[in-house]
Amino acid sequence: MDDPISIRKFEPKIRKGLVVIITGNGKGKTTSAMGMALRGCGHGLRTTIVQFMKGDLYSGEWDGVKQLAPFVTLHHTGKGFCGIEGNPYPHSEHRKNAQDAVLLVERILRAENCDTLILDEINNALHLGLVDLDQVKHILALRPARMHIILTGRDAVPELIDLADTVSEVREIKHAYRKDIEPQPGIDF
């Protein structure tokens, strides 16, 4: 049977890198960014993900992105969510890890070997004082003109929102956690 659906492929006249912010108190900010990485794979685009605050608890995206290689690479940095009950590391150690992540991001930008760069939880890192606003602005200034940068995490600051091309807010309406349901594999991590 012939394919009944004719699929057309859109190509923009000019390829422009966008700055995208995904923020808010709801679930799905990282998931949304990962979806953009998956979509980019379909176009043959390379995505690099730098996770600023994901801790030492396993998350499915770590192995999931291996299935998308060589189009998607993930750099896991950080010592977990700073300030969350039960996280044993001092603020100074979280800041050192975030500063190392900033240096990694600068190397990635200078190498220009990806089309999309996801800075996962960088908004949180900024809010908690692990990175500075000037550092994030510098990262955006280093961005090659055709590279997309996606910044995720709660508490995006107005200065970055003003610089972004697209900003989405993920708002919690209801969450299973509030019913004492433990995080579920594939849904929450």
Q: What is the pLDDT of residue 90?
A: 84
Is residue 42 a part of any domain in this protein? Answer: yes
Residue 163 lies in domain: 19-171
Q: What is the pLDDT of residue 60?
A: 84
Q: What is the pLDDT of residue 83?
A: 64
Is residue 115 a part of any domain in this protein? Answer: yes
For 23, phi then psi, to 5°, come to -135, 180
Is residue 189 a part of any domain in this protein? Answer: no
Residue 161 and residue 22 in contact, taking contact as beta carbons nearer than 8 Å: no
Q: What is the pLDDT of residue 12?
A: 82
| R_g of the chain, CA atoms, integer Å | 17
SS3 143: coil
What does the pLDDT profile of the chain (189 residues) look like in tens digits?
566 677 778 888 888 999 999 999 999 999 999 999 999 999 999 999 999 987 777 788 888 999 999 999 999 887 667 666 666 788 889 899 999 999 999 999 999 999 999 999 999 999 999 999 999 999 999 999 999 999 999 999 999 999 999 999 999 999 888 889 998 888 888
Q: What is the pLDDT of residue 82?
A: 65
Number of domains in the chain: 1
Is residue 12 a part of any domain in this protein? Answer: no
Is residue 152 a part of any domain in this protein? Answer: yes
CATH number at residue 167: 3.40.50.300
Is residue 179 a part of any domain in this protein? Answer: no
Is residue 104 a part of any domain in this protein? Answer: yes
| Buried residues in 127-163 as b, exposed as e (16+ CB within 10 A) | bbebbeeebbeebbeebeeebbbbbbbeebeeebeeb
Is residue 183 a part of any domain in this protein? Answer: no
Q: What is the pLDDT of residue 129?
A: 95
Q: What is the pLDDT of residue 2?
A: 60
